[in-house]
Each structure stands twice: as C-alpha cells, then as structure tokens.
Amino acid sequence: MTSAGYARLALLISVTLLGACGGGSPPVRFFTLASEAPSQTAAATGAPFTIVVGPVTVPELVDRPQFVLRSAPNRVELTEQARWAAPLKSEIPRVVADHLAQLLPGARTATAAQRAATVPDYRVLIDIQRFETSQQEGATIQALWTVRPTVGAAFSGRSLVTENAGAGYEDLVAAHSRALAAIGRDIAAAITSARARP
C-alpha cells in the first residue's frame, strides 16, 4: 500500500472513531429534591423558636452523585445519566427544614451547614438507614431521628415510608420528595407534642 493509501486508511479510521464517540451518549441530567407544600400552611402564631436540622447521615451505598437503582434484592445499578445536583447529606436536611418551617407555627428553621455556630431551641439529627430507588417499587426511606431541645430530654422516633412512582427519573425523585415530606410530618408532630407538655 502506498503512503497515500495509508493516509486515506488512517483518515477513515479516525472519522469512524470520532463518529462512534460523538453524539452517541445520552446527556447527563441533574435532579434535586423538592419541598412538597402541605395542604395547610401553619399560621405563624406564638413565640418564635429555632430548629436546626442536621447533621444527616446516609448509607455509603447512596452517598454518591449517581442514582443507585435497586434492580434485584442483591443487585444495584449506578446510572451515569441521572445524578443528584447536590449531595444527599445536604439535600435531605434542606427539604426537612423547609417542611418543619411550613408545619410548625413560629418555627424558624435552618440546616446545620447554615447555622453551625448558633445554639437552636431544637436540633434534629437524622440517620437515613435506607434510601432505596427502584423502577419497580418506587422510593423507600427509613430514618431514625432524634430531637435534642436546649431544655429537657431528647426524644427519638423512626419513620419508614414507601412511595410508589413511575419508571421515569422525575417520578422517582418526586417519590423521594413525598417520602421526606412524610418524615417531616412525623418530626413536626413529635416537636408539637413536646412543646405542649407542661
């Protein structure tokens, strides 16, 4: 083969490789958890008080940007095309803090990252034990949470919520958001009960 022939062959291989690499991969999409508004917003009555949510711990399995989809009891898949816009350790406390602000009259809420130097009236610690995403079963979140008031004994609870969803990533993210809303309602009810005690 002549040098011109080798040059044409090299050019053909280069074009083929570029065609295989370019435009074939689906775009990466980024998702964020949302605060679902409750059916009734709490009226801002009574003395204001502060709540700081966090820190929040999450399982190492899901402590990554990619979505972790459970495809079988002993198998998961990482989705490179669907990612969290921010770490779950910061997304979850933000969403829970938003819900507590909506549900508790007079509550001023923040996350631990926002109010690290202050002493709140209540600190909410959350240990996420399960954060499962399945295109067949929807979203499941299991959380142990502890509320530590400035005055008085701490109290704890456990929430286990499963929300059905469609197979799309948007549906799965919305299901996780609804599950966190339910956990926020559990925590808000516990704080309301504690504040009602003499």
pLDDT, mean of each 10-residue run, the chain (198 residues): 43 40 75 74 69 96 96 92 96 97 95 80 97 94 97 96 93 96 98 89
pTM of the model: 0.83
pLDDT of residue 6: 40
pLDDT of residue 182: 97
The answer to whether the beta carbons of residues 148 and 120 sit under 8 Å apart is no
Residue 23 lies in a domain: no
Residue 167 exposed, middle or buried by CB count within 10 Å (0-12, 13-18, 19+): exposed
Look at residues 182, 144, 146 and name the one whose alpha carbon lies nearest to residue 163. Answer: 182
Tell me the CATH number at 137: 3.40.50.10610
pLDDT of residue 163: 97
pLDDT of residue 158: 98
pLDDT of residue 118: 72
Residue 5 lies in a domain: no
pLDDT of residue 25: 77
Overall number of domains in the chain: 1
Residue 1 lies in a domain: no
The reply to whether omega before 93 is within 30° of 0 (cis) is no
Residue 2 lies in a domain: no
Residue 22 lies in a domain: no
Q: Could you list the residue range(s) of the whole structural domain that residue 123 is in?
A: 29-196
Residue 16 lies in a domain: no
pLDDT of residue 90: 95
Give the total residue count for the chain. Answer: 198
Residue 10 lies in a domain: no
Residue 153 lies in a domain: yes
The reply to whether omega before 55 is within 30° of 0 (cis) is yes
